[in-house]
Structure 1
Amino acid sequence: MTQIFRLNATVRRDPAVDAWFTSGDEIRRLAEPWFALMRACGPDVREVMHDGYPTACVGDAAFAYVGAFKGHANIGFFHGAALADPAGLLEGSGKRMRHVKVRWGRPVDNAALEALISAAYGDILSRLSSSH
């Protein structure tokens, strides 16, 4: 059976997500363009604050999130271990989740990170279609 992490109360645009980006420190703003890409993946993308972080879902099925920490932002993927990562951006050793750390002043492979976000969206669509 396909594993899918589901969240309640997802909406098309959550004001709490927007508030998260405008409150707090600059690290949150570092993560904002990546969350914007998650939002733009498709018309079925919904969002919710989960464990204090903006989380992107298809319906109620989570596929990615952003988080802000002291010196970096995480761009995280709920099924990241299943994603192809030819650029080697993904970190983590959990059974399913992986993340990319983004820091001010350090270059990031934008194309590779954009591809991971797109792949995570495609992965959740595939999981959802195979679960029916």
Structure 2
Amino acid sequence: MADGKFGSFADLEALAENEVRPLMAALRGVILAVHPDAVEVVRLGDRAATYGVGPKKMSEGYCYVMPQKAWVNLGFYHGVSLRDPDVLLEGTGKRLRHVKLHDTDGCFSPEVRTLIEAALAERKAAF
């Protein structure tokens, strides 16, 4: 269960394995390139950084970066509503979906960028 502690992206990187830190930085860069005004909220209890049109995780957030031991999940809070022609999204939850990224090439792929753009558009349309 999340303890609600907030921090910086550097704090989150410090919690992650050295091998996945470049992936985290790459994903953050792509997200901020797509949405320079993104609201970044790092919840250390969740071990994730959320990006959104506002600070509320589930209603205003559109994606998150969550490091694992050997990969990084790029998650989408409303992933079930995203078009996924390349079948990158995984998960069985009611709304959440994620992409497992194992290398920086995947982070910079046009397909990943398209998912981020679609998730941002979906959240902007919701408000």
- Given the two structures, how large is their TM-score scaled by the length of structure 2? 0.78
C-alpha deviation, 1:68, in angstroms: 1.0
The worse-fitting range, judged by mean Cα deviation, of 51-60 and 93-102 is 51-60
RMSD: 2.2
Tell me which residue corresponds to 1:8. none
Specify the SS of the correspondent of 2:8.
Answer: helix
Structure 2 residue aligned with 1:57, among 12, 37, 52?
52
Gapped regions of structure 2 (runs ≥ 5) = 1-5
- Given the two structures, how large is their TM-score scaled by the length of structure 1? 0.75
Distance, in Å, in 1 between the alignment partners of 2:36 and 2:102 is 29
Asked if 1:42 is matched to 2:41, the reply is no
Specify the SS of the correspondent of 1:40.
Answer: helix
Higher helix share: 2
- Kindly tell me: are residues 23 and 70 of structure 1, through their superposed partners in 2, closer, same or farther at Cα, counting changes over 3 Å? closer
Asked if 1:115 is matched to 2:108, the reply is no
Gapped regions of structure 1 (runs ≥ 5) = 1-13
C-alpha deviation, 1:39, in angstroms: 2.0
**Correspondence list, 1:73-84, <5 A:** 73-84=72-83
C-alpha deviation, 1:42, in angstroms: 2.9
- Kindly tell me: are residues 43 and 101 of structure 1, through their superposed partners in 2, closer, same or farther at Cα, counting changes over 3 Å? closer
- Kindly tell me: are residues 18 and 40 of structure 1, through their superposed partners in 2, closer, same or farther at Cα, counting changes over 3 Å? farther
The worse-fitting range, judged by mean Cα deviation, of 26-35 and 63-72 is 26-35
Tell me which residue corresponds to 1:29. 22
C-alpha deviation, 1:21, in angstroms: 2.9
